[in-house]
Chain A
Amino acid sequence: MKSLAGILLAGLLLAGCAATPGTPRPVTRQGPVHETTLANGLKVIVKEDHRAPVVVSQVWYKVGGSYEYDGLTGISHVLEHMMFKGTPNHPPGQFSRIIAEHGGRENAFTAQDYTAYFQQLEKSRLPIAFELEADRMRHLSLDPGEAAKELQVVMEERRLRTDDNPQALTWEQFSATAWQVSPYRHPIIGWMNDIEHLNADDLRRWYQTWYAPNNATLVVVGDVEPQEVFALAERHYGPLQPSTISPAKPRIEPPQRGERRIVVKAPAELPYLIMGYKVPSLKTADEDWKPYALEVLGGVLDGSRSARLERELVRGSQIAASVSTGYSLTARLGDLFTVGGTPAQGHDAAALEHALKAQIERFKTQPVSADELARIKAQVTASKVYELDSVFYQAMQIGVMETVGLDWRLLDEYPQRIAAVTPEQIMAVAREFLIEDNLTVAVLDPQPLDGAAPRSLGGGGMLRH
């Protein structure tokens, strides 16, 4: 049902914008999710959630750590910081002040496969978010003085997150070893030396290359009317010109031809172990049941307190003080299935590795039990409801899918795809991928903390601004 405000807004749009294309854009819809694409290529996805009078607006750019190359690592993340440093219309810091005065919360994050900017607002304030976001999509100032200061901030962030954190250092070294060619080998925050040598010209080129409406997705979730949001998006983003986006050269990781092992020495108290196997994601799998089978395998190991690692390695044999797994269905360029943790008192990393390998081997010879699969299915079913308690999380899910090149409709299929995974399929992916030749192992070897010289160095996951 169109609201009065929506009709008025549409009227204003037609009266005021000579450049507005006359033909309405086609809109597709599935349940509460509505999608359209502007003439300049900006995809706009709106999901209705009328529980509370709030809205989240997220702009997702198809650029991140995995688009970078040697000498320029960390630039996507620095650019994310610079997006708050002003345009000709709005001096540095004003963006944040305006959103704050509108009662909004804002931030941004950079990951390997995307950079995203968001505002959470009372629902009537959506227009200001669109106005400011559209302004900085194409008109960022990138002042050299501001860039020099912000590079200092990013260096402090690197020190905080990585340099002074021995486990994070281990992850960084692990990724750089497991991946030899894939851009996933670079840390999202960048190597310190690269950060130190970035300048405003580099940032300008990166911005002009990747920040364009046709390289972005606008995701809006909340108490909104989709047609109104589309009209508002047309008004603010429609006038922006698209760019020609030249795809980055593909840097396909060659098949791994044997186990890799490294030791990382850093001031620390406790040892730490990371194991990772090369595996496909939804984007790279030759058959799409395989990533879901890996997902379920991960759940059997580490989905919850009744999962095998907690039950058998933490509570049972007490070889692990803490242990967990990692895998991302949505990684753009394939992924690593990781298992890692801290050995318990009286055990070392080698013992933990031995126990974890035994767990992995078991998948190759023993079918997963019906009880275990049923528990995972129950958790996935319940999660589908729990997710709806967060407007922000619903937007994140859509944004990630679209930005890595997957269809957001797959989100609705997730419970059925998980439920369809069979014990035979789990055994098959374990035998195909969780093998020694695909494996990289990193061990943190703790160095003395007291009396050591101070570290002066010239996340996995994502960095928040």
Chain B
Amino acid sequence: MKLITQKALIVITLCWSGVAAALPQIEHWQTANGARVYFVAAHELPMVDVQVVFDAGSARDTVPGVASLTARLLMEGAGDLDANAIAERFDALGARVSSNAGRDNASVSLRSLTDPALLQPALETLAQVLRAPAFPAAAFERERSRVLMALRAQEQNPGALADRAFYRALYGTHPYAQPPLGTMESVKALTRDDVAGHYHRHFVARNAIVVIVGDLPRNAAQAVAETLAGQLPAGNAPAPLPEVEGVNADTVHVAHPSSQTHILVGQPVLHRGDADYFALYVGNHILGGSGLVSRISDEVREKRGLAYSAYSYFLPMRKAGPFQLGAQTKNESAAEALAIMRATLQRYRDAGPTAEELVAAKKNITGGFPLNIDSNSDIAGYLAMIAFYRLPLDYLDRFIEQVNAVTAEQIRDAFRRRVDPERLVTVTVGNGK
């Protein structure tokens, strides 16, 4: 895996089925204070998408919920601007801003027209938010209260309860076990200092990636990165996350007065950059990742009418992310649905895909690839992923070739090695008793 540390220009045009799907040309450099910048020029529309991504997700929480609350509070005041002033500035420029935190990372996004009269003030306001957020005490109390409301709202949402229980059961004491929103107890205990501490530790240049996709020349993109990240302290990236330990075949049931039972089955498996990624990705596409034509959906929904949504996926993360099978069915059918999901997985793991299934999956994935990169926002999302997980910059260029190289035997072998049927966690929510 190449690690690009200097300016590099990668231009590859791929010809496929006689149609030139022009792959994004990724330019890459660093700011003087150490932020990595990734830029794709797209001149057809006079707009730009910018994302600033930090290794500052809930996996870095000192107290569960702090990363998420920090993300919420960034726009609540910066320097001499209060929340209303910040909001009015962006809105008057037609700019769209958002701030989010998941488990692996936190990000701030900006969409703006490239007219300098609009873009420049938007960037300056965002830069002020990034380098000098005020985290006003009143805003902290208010947003903390809203997070507590959101946590209470989860109690009436069986899907949210299932998700929460699933991660807890999979990850034990690993940081991934904690819900990004936090818990009632942890959020009540949070202080403004926790938020400020999280910000100061992680919102630093050496921990930052700037992604830019849009109608800008190279030197303007450099100015964008400099404006947003140039005044951040250099700081340091945090230490690597701990490895994920093996999991036990726990069964967790959460009673809920819903008419359906939500079922989740899985275990931690896959990290970004894993050597088994393509075998498992293509393999899962057949098992449960291709909608109605997938095996799980066919068995649970199409053949038996047991669920509206039945699926499986691998979620690659910084450390081993979950493999998950899921479905929701009326309480009376929960046992049957669960048995079918397990049996379908077992059969797939034993025999692997058929030759026909593999051909069809490759055609779907590779034939649909132009759809993955047909918009600025799609490209920005890919760029952020490639940059954050330090994937090779030719990831998109090589994607089709790597999918096509996967064999049925590789899929069978990868599922056998990486999916352990003796260590699958099962979570059910519903059947209120």
Contact = CB atoms under 8 A, between A and B. Distances in A.
Interface stretch (A18-26, A176-184, A304-312): A304-312
Contact of B149 (A92, A97, A342): A342
Contacts of B94: 378-379, 381-383
A97 B293 contact: yes
Interface residues of A, number: 79
Given A315-B142, A386-B47, A150 B305 contact: yes
B47 A385 contact: yes
A203 B111 CA distance: 45
B373 A100 contact: no
Interface in B240-266: 255-260
Contact of A345 (B145, B308, B328, B365): B145
Interface in B307-361: 307-309, 328-331, 360
B146 A344 contact: yes
A390 interface: yes
Contacts of A388: 45
B176 to A, nearest CB: 26
A388 B42 CA distance: 13
A9 interface: no
Given A101-B363, A382-B94, A449-B155, A160 B308 contact: yes
A156 B328 contact: yes
B10 to A, nearest CB: 19
A104 B257 contact: no
B259 A270 contact: no
B220 interface: no
Contacts of A269: 152-153, 155-156
Contact of A100 (B92, B298, B364): B364
Given A149-B304, A452-B432, A159 B330 contact: yes
Contacts, number: 228
Contacts of A165: 156-157
Contact of B91 (A156, A304, A454, A457): A304
Contacts of B75: 305
Interface residues of B, number: 81
B196 interface: no
A288 to B, nearest CB: 25
Nearest to A387: B45
Interface of B: 17-21, 44-47, 75, 83-84, 87-88, 90-96, 111-113, 118, 139, 142, 145-146, 148-150, 152-153, 155-158, 255-260, 290-293, 298, 301-309, 328-331, 360, 363-371, 373-377, 430-433
Interface of A: 51-54, 84, 92-93, 96-97, 100-105, 120-125, 148-157, 159-160, 163-166, 267-270, 303-307, 310-311, 314-315, 318, 321-322, 342, 344-345, 371, 374-375, 378-379, 381-383, 385-386, 388-391, 446, 449-450, 452-457
24 contacts: A84-B292, A93-B293, A102-B363, A103-B368, A103-B369, A121-B367, A121-B371, A124-B17, A124-B18, A148-B305, A160-B308, A164-B158, A164-B260, A267-B156, A269-B152, A306-B87, A315-B139, A318-B142, A345-B148, A378-B93, A386-B47, A386-B111, A449-B155, A449-B156
